[in-house]
Structures are given as C-alpha cells and as structure tokens.
C-alpha cells in the first residue's frame, strides 16, 4: 500500500475524535473513562463470562467520519465502525447506546459469524431532527470470536486495508451504505455497550450453563480450566490438568446453582483465578503423586 493510502487510513480512524469538516470540533475521550469508544492498542481485551454487560468497546477499524446538515438545525453524524467486545466465542444479546436499548435480540440473539441485524433506533437519544439528539440507525454484523477468526465481507475493500480476522475476539461492525452508520446529532459519541455472553465449555459437559434463560451464568469450574490453559487470556500453563476433578467440581457447582456472571477489564489471569477460587471457596493444588493440577 502506498504512503498516501496509509496516511488516509490513519486519518479515517482518528476521525472518531477529530472532525474532517470545516468548523467541526470533536472532543477526545476523557482520560480514564472506559465508556467512550477509543482507539488504543494498550487497552486490554475484556474477559466477560456468563451473560453480562460489556462497556467501553475499543474501536479497531473505521471509515471516514461525516457530519451532514439535516432538514432543520441539526447536524447528523455518520461513520462505519468495527468495535471489539470481548474474548469469545460468545453470544450477542443486546446493543445499547447511552444505556438505552438500541437492539434486543430476544429469543434470537447473534451467535455466529456474519449474522446481521438492522438497528432501527433513529430516535434513541430524542427527536431525530433536534440538535444533540437523534439515535442509531443502520446495519450491525457480528463476529463470534472463535479460533478461526472472521473477516467481514467487503470490509477490506471499504476500509482500503487488510484485515486480520482477530481470532478469539468477538466484534460488531456497524455499517450502512452511502454516508455510513448513523450515530445521532451530537459530535461526541454516546457510550456504546453490549449484553454479551461467553459460556466456556472446554470439556464438552452438559452443565456449562447455570441459571435460567435471560440470566445464564458460566460454570466457574470451566472458567478456571480456561484461565489455566488458554493462551489468549489465561496462563497457557503446560501443566497437565486433572480433568476428572474439574468435571466433578463443575457438577457440584451446577447442583448448587453457583455460577458466575462477570466482566474483567484490567485484571490479570492470576487475579481472575484468585477471585473465582474465593467465590467457590476452592484452592488449586498439584497432586504429589501424579503431578496433575486440580
């Protein structure tokens, strides 16, 4: 790719915070405020287990930011954006704008790569013709975040850049034809958040989900296994695991109805493990005879 195209791509992403039209000024996100969309390689990817809320998505790709005068005094703002949610593979249940429901999957949440829905919330923040109000309007396509990764169809051509597919990272691409996805009538982004569910089942057991529909919790035993073995968000330990003990623990926790619904934004794998062990009153140990971890 030639240098001019690279520079243009960088400008497209930074247009999240810097207007490209004359006289328009967009504020940068407040330092330390994770609820505003950001462009940062330093922020950790959240680990969200059970059906839980994930706030502060990281913007990982975007097209040109456009402000267009409406029929009244309002200026409407458009942009196609790809946002990272959390480690996957997971399920997307709801999309929120400024803590208001922009889309609710109900009985048909998004569970697979390439599933697309239409976000019809044009008055989510108020009247669509009122300055500072408006809403969200356009298509949203989902990537579940499995080990194979997923490149959104046509996204490389639209952005002018190669896309890595981001294995193990669940994402949403907000897009619409012409000007782009509609984000409302205010130059600053309203906070976007997601109701999302990651329910680990590394040992293929029937009790990986604890709780009723609508409040599904993850089985802490299988979250602990993932924390120990996963190379993306865990310790990637080479130790052999006593899977029979993990399964027995999972059965006990399921019978007790003790699940976990939690989003970790900055904690390390060891901190997450310690929190879960405290929750279930457990301890990790190495068998002195077999050397297996349980």
Q: What is the DSSP string of the chain?
A: --HHHHHHHHHHHHTTTS-SSTT---PPPPTT-TTS-B--SSSPPPEEEEEEEEESPEEEEE---EEEE-SSS-EEEE--EEEEEEESS-EEEEEEETTEEEEE-TTS-B-STT-EEEEEETTTTS-TTSTT---EEEEEEEE---TT----TTHHHHHTS-----TTEEEEEEE-STT--B--SSSSPPPEEEEEEE---TT--TTSEES-TTS-EE-HHHHHHHHHH-TTTS----S-B-HHHHHHHHHHHHHHT--B-EEESS--HHHHHHHHHHHHT----B-TTT--B-
Condensed to tens digits (0 to 9), the pLDDT of residues 142-186 reads 999 999 999 999 999 999 999 999 999 999 999 998 899 999 999
Condensed to tens digits (0 to 9), the pLDDT of residues 101-129 reads 999 999 999 999 999 999 999 999 999 99
Higher pLDDT, 18 or 129: 129
Query: For residue 138, what pLDDT band results from cuts at 50, 70 and 90?
Result: very high
The whole-chain average pLDDT of the chain stands at 85
The per-residue pLDDT for 220 is 97
The per-residue pLDDT for 27 is 34
Q: What is the mean pLDDT of residues 47-73?
A: 92
Q: pTM value? A: 0.84
Q: What is the mean pLDDT of residues 9-14?
A: 39
């Amino acid at each position: 790719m030639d240098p001019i195209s690279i520079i243009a791509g960088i400008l497209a992403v930074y247009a999240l915070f810097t207007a490209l039209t004359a006289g328009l000024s967009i504020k940068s996100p407040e330092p330390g405020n994770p609820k505003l969309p950001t462009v940062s390689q330093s922020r950790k990817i959240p680990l969200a287990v059970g059906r839980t809320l994930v706030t502060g998505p990281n913007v990982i790709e975007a097209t040109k930011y456009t402000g267009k005068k409406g029929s009244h005094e309002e200026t409407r703002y458009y942009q196609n954006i790809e946002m990272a949610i959390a480690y996957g593979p997971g399920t997307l249940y709801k999309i929120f704008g400024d803590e208001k429901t922009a889309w609710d999957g109900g009985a048909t949440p998004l569970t697979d790569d390439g599933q697309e829905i239409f976000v019809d919330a044009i008055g989510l923040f108020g009247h669509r013709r009122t300055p500072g109000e408006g809403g969200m309007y356009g298509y949203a396509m989902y990537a579940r975040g499995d080990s194979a990764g997923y490149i959104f169809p046509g996204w490389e051509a639209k952005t002018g850049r190669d896309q890595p597919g981001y294995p193990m990272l669940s994402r949403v691409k907000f897009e619409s034809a012409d000007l782009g996805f509609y984000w409302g009538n205010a130059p600053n982004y309203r906070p976007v958040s997601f109701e999302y569910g990651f329910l680990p089942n590394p040992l293929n057991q029937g009790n990986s989900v604890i709780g009723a529909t609508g409040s599904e919790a993850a089985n802490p035993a299988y979250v602990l296994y993932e924390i120990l073995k996963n190379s993306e968000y865990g310790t990637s330990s080479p130790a052999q695991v006593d899977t029979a003990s993990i399964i027995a623990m999972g059965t006990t926790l399921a019978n007790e109805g003790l699940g976990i619904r939690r989003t970790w934004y900055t904690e390390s794998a060891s901190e997450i493990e310690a929190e879960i062990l405290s929750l279930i009153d457990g301890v990790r140990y190495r068998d002195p005879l077999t050397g297996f971890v349980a």
